[in-house]
Amino acid sequence: MKGYWHIVAFIAFVNSVSATYHFLFSILGYTWLFWLYKRRRIKLRVCIMSIVIGMAAFYLIYNVKSHAVSTPIPKQDTLQGKIVSSISNNDAGISFTLRDLNDQLIEVFLFERDAKQLKEIKTGASCTMKGNVQEPQQATNPGQFDYKNYLANNGIYWNITLDDRDPIQCEGESWLQFIYSIRQNIVVKTKDVLSPLTSSWLQALLIGEKMGIDNETEELFQRWGLSHLLAISGLHVGIVIGILYTTLVKFHLVTKEKAQWIIILFLPFYAILAGGEPSVWRASMMTAVAFLFLKAGKKISLTDGLSILFLVFIIVSPTMLFQIGFQLSFIVTFALLLSKKIFSGPKLFVALRISLISQLIVLPFQLYYFFFFNPLSVLVNVIFVPYFTFLVIPLMFLLLFLTYTFPLLAKLMDSLFIPTHEMMLRVLEWMDQSLYFPWVIGKLSPILFISYFFLFLFFMKYLSAERERQAFRYGLILVCFLFILSIKPFFTPYSTVTMLDVGQGDSFVIELPYRRGIIVIDAAGSIGSDFQTATDKTYRQIIKPFLYAKGIRQIDSLILSHEDIDHVGSVPYLLDGFDVKQIVTSRYFNISKTTKKNLKDSGVRVTKLVEGEYIDIKGYSFLALSPTSDNGTSNENSLVLFTELGGLRWLFSGDIGNKSEREMINNYPNLKADVLKVSHHGSKFSTSDQWLERLKPKIALISVGRNNQYGHPAKEVVSKLKNQGIAIVRTDQHGSIRYRFTGKKGTFSKYLP
Amino acid sequence: MFCIWCDTEIMIEVNWNNLFYPDHPKPLCDQCETKLDFLSGNQCTLCGRNWDFGNRCRDCARWEKDPEWQGVLTFNRSVFSYSKAIQEMVAKWKYRGDYVLVESFRQGFQAAFTKQFSFLEVAVIVPIPLSLERLSERGFNQAEALADFLNATTIQALTRIHGEKQSKKTRRERLVSTNPFEVVTHIKTPVILIDDIYTTGITIRHAAKKLRDAGCPEVYSFTLIRG
């Protein structure tokens, strides 16, 4: 079996994929296995082992997946259960996983509450709470992160959100609690002794507590492919264990034998202490297994060790397979182990190769989850990985030790570390501002996902065989592959109009054929906790992922109906993150002086329209029907646009009220529309009978938030539309809605069935 | 897997090349493998030994001068050059009956055969036989064991009359000894003789001569070692 475990692991993996997507994967896997056996490349026992474990993996994953379908809704109104996860804190509150009396897992989220109550919430505690158990929110837009799916991948099918009035009572704790309290102690103690900057990095890098690292830094690291430094992985575990082992042995604290045992026992403890993420478990268990074999005097190849660990993971916790952290952690480690041969020569050269191979192997995952990659991240890794490996992580370990023993010395070193680290972060920020060129490719289909790996396999095969010419050829094909992916839209004759589900707000994206242009009508923002300013939530979670998933980086025209947050709140972020060529508004749209200056500086053209004027965007004209004059309120000043797309007449009406409708009825006696964007999310002060009679629309689009506090859309409006036999599509019920067309023909489709 | 020569464990290293198509299990560890010297560089066109001074080595020139032996053997090719390590291995294999050691030569033997003799469209493999006495003493014929590796028609076309071991004789004694072979099957196509070692070339030539006399158009030889 030795040296062949990767085959068993691969068959198990293929079977898991098969249980999730299509049985064809299993057939291909087994065909490959039998072919190897027939060619006498593997022994019968490898075959049998692969089949047995493969079938077990299939069964386990299939079970999880079918469980998801058949889980009944827990109907009780008081919820009782045990906390089975660690307690994670973030800005808004705390969350944990509860196992209820029926053995169902439920994700619990608590808004901020007083410290006394928080103290009782511990892993292993039995809790009673009152609240409304719900199905988790699923994605309703292409490209959007699917929270429901994410929880399901962890075996959780329900969630409950408790605000500060909902009662919760907890008592008891698990035997693991002592580890969590050590963790808590470290957090408190380092915060106390060290500067906020240093303590937050110490907590993130040594015990996986990322609370202190702000979102901007985390996103900065993500943009530059450095997230792996922030998540505790083999690198961190390796350094911590290396320092610990060397200290124990070099200072003759214990014998080598004992030191090895200490390490082996310390590793699972450390995995829990460091937050228990899959990457932490993988790295600690891998190290523990290596130490165990070292003790037994047996040799084991690292690929075997990793493969066996992979098998143990998917058998113990099959849902882990769907977690991005697990996927990346295993694939990168495996790829690096396979490439051992080519890691020789000058150090810088090796560092570059390691960085390049890691980036290339995670690229399909990166594109699958985030739709873009940053080509320069390879170089940044070459700088930052050694910086963290040789300086930051060892120093943090030392600082942790000193915090508890010589706090004064810790403070001194802290003051030396701050300027260094600030400088490094500033370098990264500077690069982010001047050298950030993300290559937005769009969502990768499964076929392309697999094809990429085949190309990469051949590339690496020739590279490690030192057949440079062949390797170069495959490298070139790989680059062309990515290039073709990113220019694919330029060869697509289809256009789309998408009404995004942005909750209570409006956002439309129009993609012209052959990528001639991208038009965005309104960019809703989410309203912050002060009910005044917009946050980037809608932009970050919905608009940006949608555009990236479509491979869009440039917006030719950004049309803004009026200046309310639910229509323009994401505009600043959009201007920052995308290449916006032109902004189109009504003449009465208020743009502040600073915004005006910013727009001018960044070269964005501003076009203002009034009633009767039209704008031509790449051969598609948009006629302004309103406003004729300043109507006083932002809603009534909404820019109303008429256009023809895919054989249909469209009317985008912003948030106009009855007044503007009446004006248009008078001004345009022959006005007709096939598709009407119902004004103001279906408010009862818009969409009059006369308006509908004049337009005679066939389809009414309503962009409206789920259970919104305004009661939109108004019952009257809905029944009016129904009575006139107009088909209604609503974002709160159907998610995003897309009209896809070529020439004069097209079809509507809803994201949610 | 353990090295069949030194018995240390062989670690299979999975890399990008063998990830989806494992290599054949290796019989020798990397260290023992490097002890085997593949013949390479300038070689004598006739007997295949390393020779830097022209087409033919001095021995072969002598053979070809003698009208009795001229052109009897078209050419010989071997896989390994003679070294202490391979001598030990062959001794253990051949004389002390460690039959499985032959596996260490399989890969090299097959590869070299394809390289050297694939130009022959029709050829029959004839292993150099042992006398019945020697065979019963050793239990197997080393030439046959090697011939078994090759994917070609093998015919036991010769028999051997018992005599003293070649390895116990001096060069002069070997050269004047009587031909110990007899043809039992007449072959009309080119023949490739297989043996473990080519030292003076007399054994191969004795066998070749008998085959040629019985009507064989051309005789080549392929041995594991060029002594």
Residues B164 and B71 in one domain: yes
Assess contact for A443 and A368: CB atoms under 8 A: yes
DSSP for A667-723 reads: H-TT---SEEE-GGGG-TTS--HHHHHHH--SEEEE---TT-TT-PSPHHHHHHHHH
B25 to chain A: closest CA residue: A41
Prediction ipTM score: 0.80
Give the pLDDT confidence score for residue A152 in this predicted structure: 84
Instruction: State the total domains in chain B.
Output: 2
Do residue A59 and residue A84 come from a single domain? no
Provide the greatest CA pair distance for chain A.
Answer: 95
Q: Which residues of A touch B19 (CB under 8 A)?
A: 6, 338, 457
Q: Domain check: are B5 and B103 in the same one?
A: no
Residue A618 and residue A470 share a domain: no
> Quick one: tokens of A468?
């440079």
CB pairs under 8 A between A and B: 52
The amino acid occupying position A498 is: T
Does A418 reside within a domain? no
CB distance A504 to A531 below 8 Å: no
Name the minimum distance, in Å, from the CA of B103 to any CA of chain A. Answer: 15
- Residue showing tokens 């109906």: A561
Of B11, B17, B21, the CB nearest to A3: B11
A340/B1 touch (CB, cutoff 8 Å), yes or no:
no
Q: Are residues B27 and B55 in the same domain?
A: no
**A59 and A115 inside one domain:** no
Residue of chain B with shortest Cα separation from A300 = B11
Quickly tell me which residue has 């980037």 as its tokens.
A536
CA A36 to chain centre: 39
Cα–Cα nearest to A701, from A673, A678, A721: A678
Do B44 and B100 fall within a single domain?
yes
Instruction: Assess whether the previous peptide bond of A627 is cis (omega < 30° from 0).
Output: yes
User: Which residue range is the domain that position A452 belongs to?
Assistant: 447-490
**Residue in A39, A41, A340 to test binding to B, most B beta-carbons within 10 Å:** A41
Inside any domain, residue A344: no
Answer yes or no: pTM beyond 0.90.
no
A215: closest CA among A92, A115, A323? A92
Inter-chain CB proximity A457 and B19 less than 8 Å: yes
Domain boundary among A14, A36, A70: A70
**Going by DSSP bridges, is the β-strand pair A507-511/A518-523 parallel, antiparallel, or unpaired?**
antiparallel
Burial of A93 (0-12, 13-18, 19+ CB in 10 A): middle
User: Nearest 5 degrees, angle CA B207-CA B208-CA B210?
Assistant: 70
A556 and A684 both lie in a single domain: yes
Which string of DSSP letters, residue by residue, matches A436-449?
A: ---EE--PPPHHHH
A703 shares its domain with A625: yes
Q: Provide the domain limits for residue B22.
A: 1-34
Together in a domain, B131 and B190 = yes
Q: What is the pLDDT along chain B (227 residues), one digit of tens a residue?
A: 789 888 888 888 899 999 999 988 888 988 888 888 899 889 999 999 999 988 899 989 999 998 888 999 999 999 999 999 899 999 999 899 899 999 999 989 999 999 999 998 889 999 999 999 989 989 999 999 999 999 889 999 999 987 767 677 777 777 777 889 999 999 999 999 999 999 989 999 999 999 999 999 999 999 999 98
Q: What number of CA atoms fall less than 13 Å from residue A573's CA on the CB side?
A: 21
Domain match, B41 and B70 both: yes
**Kind plus residue range of the DSSP H or E element containing B202:** helix B202-213
| Domain containing residue A560: CATH number | 3.60.15.10
How far does the CA of residue B21 sit from the closest CA of chain A (Å)?
Answer: 7
Give the integer Cα–Cα distance in Å for A515 and A550: 11
A98, A81 Cβ separation under 8 angstroms: yes
- Structure confidence by residue, pLDDT tens digits, A420-468: 999 999 999 999 999 998 999 998 888 899 999 999 999 999 998 888 8
Tokens of A77: 């109104």
Give the separation between CA A118 and CA B156, rounded to whole angstroms: 90
Chain A residues in contact with chain B using a Cβ-Cβ cutoff of 8 Å: 2-4, 6-7, 32, 36, 40-42, 299, 301, 303, 337-341, 457, 460-461, 463-465
The verdict on residue A324 lying in a domain is no
Residues from chain B that touch A301, judged by Cβ atoms under 8 A, are 11-14
Instruction: Let me know if residue A128 belongs to a domain.
Output: yes
H helix or E strand, kind and range, residue A188 = helix A177-193
Q: In this structure, what token pair is assigned to residue A665?
A: 């009825």
| B31 CA: distance to closest CA in chain A (Å) | 17
Query: Is A498 within the bounds of a domain?
Result: yes
Which residues of chain A lie closer than 8 angstroms to B12, CB-CB? 2-4, 301
Place of tokens 């594991």: B224
My answer on whether A486 and A564 are in the same domain is no
pLDDT under 50 in chain A at which residues?
Answer: none
Task: Write out the two tokens for A490.
Answer: 């330029």
Contact A329, A279 (CB under 8 A): yes
CATH code, domain with A119 = 2.40.50
Q: Is there a single domain that holds both residue A549 and residue A581?
A: yes
Q: How far does A419 lie from chain B, in Å, by closest CA? A: 43
Q: Kindly state whether residues A681 and A552 are assigned to the same domain.
A: yes
Tell me which residues of chain B have a C-beta less than 8 Å from any C-beta of chain A: 1, 9, 11-17, 19-24
Q: Nearest-CA distance from B44 to chain A in Å?
A: 31
**Contact across the interface for B24 and A301, Cβ inside 8 Å:** no
State the nearest Cα–Cα gap between B181 and chain A, in angstroms: 39
Q: Do B14 and A465 touch (CB under 8 A)?
A: no
User: Which amino acid, one-letter code, is at A37?
Assistant: Y
Q: Cα B37 from chain centroid?
A: 15
B107 in helix, strand or coil?
helix
Torsion angle defined by CA atoms of residues A162, A167, A170 and A176, in that order, rounded to the nearest 10 degrees: 10
| Residue in the structure block whose two tokens are 């249909």 | A648
What are the CA-CA distances from residue A302 to residues A9, A115, A242 (Å)? 13, 46, 18
Domain match, A35 and A136 both: no
Looking at the fold, whether B54 and B14 belong to one and the same domain comes out as no
Beta bridge partners of A440: A372
Cβ atoms of A307 and A330 within 8 Å: the answer is no
Same domain, residue pair A91 and A152: yes
Residues of B in contact with A32 (CB under 8 A): 20
- Asked if B16 lies within 8 A of A3 by C-beta distance, the reply is no
Do B205 and B106 have their domain in common?
A: yes
CA distance B165 to B138: 13
Backbone angles phi, psi at A99, to 5 degrees: -105, 115
pLDDT, residue A75, reads 66
Q: Are B156 and B165 in contact, with CB atoms under 8 Å apart?
A: no
Check B9 against A299: CB less than 8 A apart: yes
| Residue numbers in A near B22 (CB within 8 A) | 3-4, 7, 36, 41-42
Same domain, A15 and A129: no
| Half-sphere exposure (Cβ direction) of A649: Cα atoms closer than 13 Å | 11
On the CB side of A349, CA atoms within 13 Å amount to: 5
Cα–Cα distance measured from residue A96 to residue A81, given in angstroms and rounded to the nearest whole number: 12
The per-residue pLDDT for A115 is: 67
Contacts of A465 in chain B (CB under 8 A): 17
Q: Are residues A127 and A17 in the same domain?
A: no
Chain B residues touching residue A341 (CB < 8 angstroms): 15
* A2–B12 C-beta distance less than 8 A: yes
Q: Closest residue of A to B16, CA-based?
A: A461
In Å, how far are A380, A397, A711 from A262, measured between CA atoms?
36, 18, 63
Could you say which of A174, A199, A223 is where a domain stops? A174
Beta bridge partners of B18: none
**Domain contains A439:** no
Q: Final residue of a domain: which of A14, A39, A70? A: A70
Name the minimum distance, in Å, from the CA of B192 to any CA of chain A: 28
3-class secondary-structure state, position A309: helix
B15 and B86 housed in the same domain: no
Shortest CA gap A41–chain B (Å): 6
Q: What is the total count of domains within chain A?
A: 4
**CB-closest option in B9, B20, B22 to A4:** B22
Which of A338, A339, A454 best tests the B interface by mutation, with the highest count of B CBs <10 A?
A338
Question: Is residue B103 domain-shared with residue B178, that is, in the same domain?
Answer: yes
